[in-house]
C-alpha cells in the first residue's frame, strides 16, 4: 500500500528541485520501487493526469466549496487565502491547517489516505454525470480534504485542477520510466504514442513487456500531425506528392469493432455519444469487421459550405439534446487514413498501401479524394478548389511515409493561405471600462516553451469578441481567477484560444520575445487542452516562414 503522504512528499521534493535531470532521477527512483497498481496511478498523477483520457470536470468554485465544507472555513476566508496565495494548492494547504474541529480520523489514529483510495475517489468524480453529479463531486472531494494533512491537501487540490505545478511533463515522465526500468527512451515513447497512457507504459516497462504494447481496438492512439509547408513547390520537392483537401472540420479517430463503433476527438476523448450520425455512416459504409480509421468530420451549412469550427464544437460537446443539434448541424465524414484493419496494424505500411486498404474497405463517398502528382499547377488548382469550397487549403503527404502517431513531421505538410492561426493559452485578463466595467474584455495569451514547460506570454487579444461572447467568456474566466491586481487578473491556464493575426514581430515586452500584430479571436478551442497549445518553437518557425508567405497569397488573386 502506498500512502498518499509519500506521494505528496515526492511532489514537494520534485517542485523544490530545479534541474530536469535531477527531477527525472528523483521520479525514476520513486517509480522503480512501486507495485504495478500504484505505479500506474503515480505515473499519471505526477503530471496531473488523474484519469487517462477523461476530464474530471472540477472547476475552482467546486473545489473551494469542497474545501469550505471539509474545513468549516467560510467562503470569505477561502477567498482571502486565494488572494494571499494565488494558488489553489496553497489555499487547500492553509485551509486544512486551520481545519476545525479535528475529524474523527485524527482521533482514531487512522493510517490516513492511500493513493488507491484517492484514485478511487477521483474515479467517482470523473464518472459522475447528469443530475446530482455536482453533489457527488463535492462529497468526494470533501471526504479527501477532511482526511488529508495540509501537504496532502495541497496536492489533492492540484490533482482536482489537473495541474500539478511541479515542472513535470510528459517528456520528463517518459525519461523517468526509461531510467527506472532500464528501457530505451524510444521504446517508451513508441509505446506511449500507441496507447496514450503512460501509466500502462510504466507498468509494462517494469514487467519488461514494453514490446507487447501495441495498437489496440477501442484504445485511442495519438494522431499523426502536420507541419506547415513552406510552399507547394517546396513541399512537392520534399516528396509530399499525395494531395488532399485540408477540410475545415474536426479530427475524428474511429474504432470499429464489429457493430460497436467508438469515436475519439483530437484530444482522444470519447465523443461517440455526441456524434450518432458518424456512427451510422461508418456502419453503412465501412465493410471491415474491425478497423481504426482517421478522418475529419465536417459540419455543412445549407449552402453546402463548411460551417465555422465553433458550430462543430457544439456537436462534439453536446451531451443532451444530441438528436436535435444533429439535425441543425449535420456532419459529414471524410476519411483520409486507416491504421488498423481486421486484426492487423497498418502503422508501418506506407501511406500508398494504407490508402489502398481504405479504398477497399470503405465507400468512396466517405473517403477524401486524393491525387498523386508532382505538377505544381495541378496542385495549385486543387488548392483553389478547396478554398472556393470553403475549406482551409491542401494537405500534401508523402505516399511512402508510415503513420507516425503523435508526430508532427515532414510527411504531412499543410498549405493554407494566410498565416497559421495560433492556439494559445489564456493566462490573464483585464476588466473593461465604462459600459464594459463588469466584463473581462481583453485576454492575455501565452505559448508553451517546450524546453521548460513554462507558459510565455505573446500579448493580448481584445478583437473578434462579440458582446454576447464577452458575457459568456467573463462567466467562464471569472471561475478561473487566481489573483487580482488593479484592473488585471491572473487566471488558471485552462482555456485555449485560437487566434489569428497579421504578423509576428519580435518584442522585448513579452517573455516569449515575440508579439502578435493585430491579434483577433477566431475560436475558443474547447477541443484542445493547454498542453496542446502552440509552442515558442512554432512561433519562431512561423516568424521565420513569414517571408515565404507571399507566394501562397498570390495564388488567391
Q: Does 165 bind ligand AMP (CB under 6 A)?
A: no
d(Cα 55, Cα 526) in Å, to the nearest integer?
12
Closer Cβ to ligand AMP, 137 or 334, answer by number: 334
Instruction: Return the C-alpha cell found at 113.
Output: 489516505
**Which of the ranges 174-182, 243-251, 299-307, 377-385 carries the binding residues for ligand AMP, by CB under 6 A?**
243-251
Residue 224 DSSP label: P
Residue 336 near ligand AMP by CB under 6 A: yes
Spatial separation of the C-alpha atoms in residues 476 and 495, rounded to whole Å: 9
- Work out whether 407 is an interface residue with ligand AMP (CB under 6 A): no
Kindly tell me which residue out of 65, 197, 296, 457 binds ligand AMP, with binding defined by CB under 6 A. 296
* CB distance 378 to 233 below 8 Å: no
Among 4, 155, 192, 247, binds ligand AMP (CB under 6 A): 247
Work out the angle between the directed axes of helices 20-32 and 170-181 (0-180°, nearest 10): 50
Question: Does the footprint of ligand AMP cover residue 93 (CB under 6 A)?
Answer: no
Cβ closest to ligand AMP, residue 318 vs residue 391: 391
* Size of residue set near ligand AMP by CB under 6 A: 11
Is 481 a residue that touches ligand AMP (CB under 6 A)?
Answer: no
List the one residue from 246, 255, 456, 538 that touches ligand AMP (CB under 6 A): 246
Q: Please say which residue, 99 or 538, places its beta carbon nearer to ligand AMP.
A: 538
Least Å from the CB of residue 122 to ligand AMP: 30
Lateral strand order in the sheet of 242-246: 225-228, 408-415, 393-397, 242-246, 371-372
Query: Cis link prior to 101 (omega < 30° from 0)?
Result: yes
Which one of residues 62, 395, 539, 542 is an interface residue with ligand AMP (CB under 6 A)? 395
- Determine contact, residues 255/380, Cβ cutoff 8 Å: no
Q: Binding of ligand AMP at residue 403 (CB under 6 A)?
A: no
Q: What length is written for the chain? A: 557
Annotated catalytic residue within 23, 154, 206, 246: 246
DSSP SS3 for 500: strand
Q: Which one, 185 or 317, has the nearer CB to ligand AMP?
A: 317
CB of 483 to ligand AMP, least distance (A): 32
Retrieve residue 148's grid coordinates: 488529508
Listed residue (395, 399, 397, 396) closest to 354, CA to CA: 399
CB 504 within 8 A of CB 413: no
Choosing from 67, 82, 151, 226, the residue that interacts with ligand AMP (CB under 6 A) is: 226
> How far, in Å, CA of 157 to CA of 78, rounded?
13
Q: By C-beta, is 225 or 555 nearer to ligand AMP?
A: 225
* Interface with ligand AMP, residue 525, by CB under 6 A: no
Of the residues 99, 119, 414, 444, which one makes contact with ligand AMP according to CB under 6 A: 414
Question: Could you tell me which stretch among 142-150, 240-248, 486-494, 520-528 binds ligand AMP (CB under 6 A)?
Answer: 240-248
Tracing cell 484592473 back to the chain, one arrives at: 487
Binding mask 206-225 for ligand AMP (x = CB under 6 A): -------------------x
For residues 427 and 446, the answer to whether their CB atoms sit within 8 Å is: yes
557 catalytic per annotation? no
- C-beta closer to ligand AMP: residue 146 or 370: 370
Cβ contacts of 40 within 8 Å, gap of 6 or more: 199, 200, 202, 203
Helix ranges, 182-228 (H): 185-195, 198-206
* 162 Rama class: left (phi>0) / alpha (psi -120 to 50) / beta: left
> According to the binding rule CB under 6 A, does residue 244 interact with ligand AMP?
yes
From residue 364 to residue 393, what is the string marking binding to ligand AMP with x (rule CB under 6 A)?
----x-------------------------
Determine contact, residues 273/261, Cβ cutoff 8 Å.
no
Contact of 210 with 191, CB cutoff 8 Å: yes
Q: Judged by CB, which is closer to ligand AMP: 187, or 270? A: 270
Residue number, nearest CB to ligand AMP: 251
Nearer to ligand AMP, 63 or 368 (CB): 368
Nearer to ligand AMP, 121 or 397 (CB): 397
Using CB under 6 A, which of 222, 251, 483, 520 touches ligand AMP?
251
What the block records as the C-alpha cell of 530 is 493547454
**Could you say whether residue 422 binds ligand AMP (CB under 6 A)?**
no
Measured from the CB of residue 250, what is the shortest distance to ligand AMP in angstroms?
6
Is residue 297 within 8 A of residue 275, CB to CB? The reply is yes
What single DSSP character describes residue 248? Answer: S
Give the Cα separation of 19 and 343 in Å (integer). 44
**Residues in contact with ligand AMP by the rule CB under 6 A:** 225-226, 244, 246-247, 251, 296, 336, 368, 395, 414
Residue positions annotated with a catalytic role: 246
Amino acid at each position: 500500500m502506498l500512502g498518499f503522504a509519500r506521494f505528496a512528499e515526492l511532489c514537494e521534493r520534485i517542485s523544490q528541485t530545479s534541474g530536469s535531470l535531477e527531477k527525472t532521477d528523483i521520479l525514476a527512483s520513486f517509480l522503480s520501487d512501486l507495485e504495478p497498481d500504484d505505479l500506474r496511478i503515480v505515473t499519471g498523477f505526477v503530471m496531473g493526469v488523474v484519469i487517462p483520457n477523461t476530464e474530471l470536470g472540477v472547476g475552482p468554485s467546486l473545489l473551494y466549496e469542497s474545501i469550505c465544507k471539509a474545513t468549516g472555513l467560510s467562503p470569505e476566508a477561502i477567498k482571502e487565502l486565494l488572494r494571499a496565495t494565488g494558488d489553489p494548492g496553497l489555499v487547500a494547504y492553509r485551509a486544512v491547517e486551520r481545519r476545525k474541529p479535528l475529524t474523527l480520523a485524527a482521533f482514531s489514529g487512522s493510517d490516513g489516505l492511500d493513493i488507491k483510495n484517492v484514485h478511487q475517489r477521483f474515479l467517482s468524480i470523473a464518472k459522475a454525470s447528469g443530475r446530482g453529479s455536482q453533489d457527488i463531486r463535492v462529497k468526494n472531494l470533501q471526504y479527501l480534504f477532511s482526511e488529508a494533512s495540509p501537504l496532502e491537501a495541497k496536492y489533492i487540490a492540484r490533482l482536482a485542477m489537473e495541474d500539478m505545478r511541479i515542472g513535470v511533463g510528459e517528456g520528463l515522465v517518459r525519461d523517468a520510466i526509461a531510467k527506472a526500468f532500464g528501457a530505451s527512451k524510444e521504446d517508451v515513447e513508441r509505446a506511449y504514442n500507441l496507447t496514450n497512457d503512460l501509466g500502462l507504459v510504466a507498468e509494462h516497462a517494469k514487467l519488461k513487456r514494453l514490446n507487447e504494447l501495441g495498437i489496440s481496438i477501442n484504445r485511442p492512439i495519438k494522431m499523426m500531425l502536420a507541419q506547415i509547408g513552406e510552399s507547394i513547390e517546396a513541399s512537392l520537392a520534399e516528396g509530399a506528392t499525395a494531395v488532399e483537401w485540408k477540410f475545415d472540420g474536426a479530427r475524428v479517430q474511429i474504432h470499429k469493432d464489429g457493430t460497436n463503433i467508438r469515436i475519439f476527438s483530437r484530444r482522444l476523448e470519447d465523443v461517440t455519444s455526441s456524434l450518432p450520425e458518424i456512427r451510422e455512416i461508418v456502419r453503412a459504409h465501412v465493410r471491415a469487421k474491425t478497423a481504426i480509421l482517421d478522418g475529419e468530420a465536417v459540419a455543412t451549412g445549407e449552402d453546402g459550405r463548411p460551417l465555422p469550427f465553433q458550430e462543430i464544437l457544439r456537436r462534439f460537446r453536446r451531451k443532451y439534446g444530441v438528436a436535435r443539434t444533429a439535425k441543425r448541424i449535420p456532419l459529414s465524414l471524410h476519411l483520409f487514413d486507416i491504421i488498423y484493419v481486421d486484426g492487423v496494424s497498418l502503422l508501418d505500411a506506407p501511406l500508398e498501401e494504407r490508402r489502398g486498404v481504405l479504398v477497399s474497405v470503405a465507400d468512396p463517398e466517405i473517403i477524401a479524394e486524393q491525387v498523386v502528382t508532382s505538377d505544381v499547377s495541378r496542385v495549385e488548382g486543387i488548392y483553389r478548389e478547396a478554398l472556393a469550397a470553403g475549406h482551409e487549403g491542401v494537405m500534401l503527404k508523402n505516399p511512402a511515409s508510415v503513420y507516425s502517431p503523435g508526430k508532427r513531421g515532414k510527411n504531412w505538410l499543410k498549405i493554407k493561405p494566410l498565416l497559421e492561426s495560433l492556439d494559445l493559452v489564456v493566462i490573464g485578463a483585464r476588466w473593461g471600462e465604462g459600459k464594459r466595467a463588469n466584463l473581462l474584455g481583453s485576454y492575455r495569451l501565452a505559448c508553451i516553451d517546450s524546453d521548460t514547460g513554462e507558459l510565455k506570454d505573446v500579448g493580448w487579444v481584445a478583437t473578434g469578441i462579440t458582446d454576447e461572447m464577452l458575457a459568456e467568456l467573463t462567466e467562464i474566466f471569472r471561475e478561473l481567477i487566481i489573483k487580482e491586481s488593479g484592473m488585471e487578473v491572473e487566471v488558471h491556464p485552462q482555456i485555449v484560444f485560437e487566434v489569428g493575426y497579421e504578423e509576428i514581430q519580435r518584442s522585448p515586452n513579452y517573455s516569449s520575445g515575440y508579439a502578435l500584430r493585430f491579434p483577433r479571436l477566431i475560436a475558443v478551442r474547447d477541443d484542445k487542452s493547454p498542453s496542446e497549445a502552440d509552442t515558442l518553437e512554432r512561433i519562431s518557425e512561423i516568424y521565420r516562414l513569414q517571408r515565404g508567405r507571399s507566394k501562397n497569397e498570390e495564388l488567391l488573386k
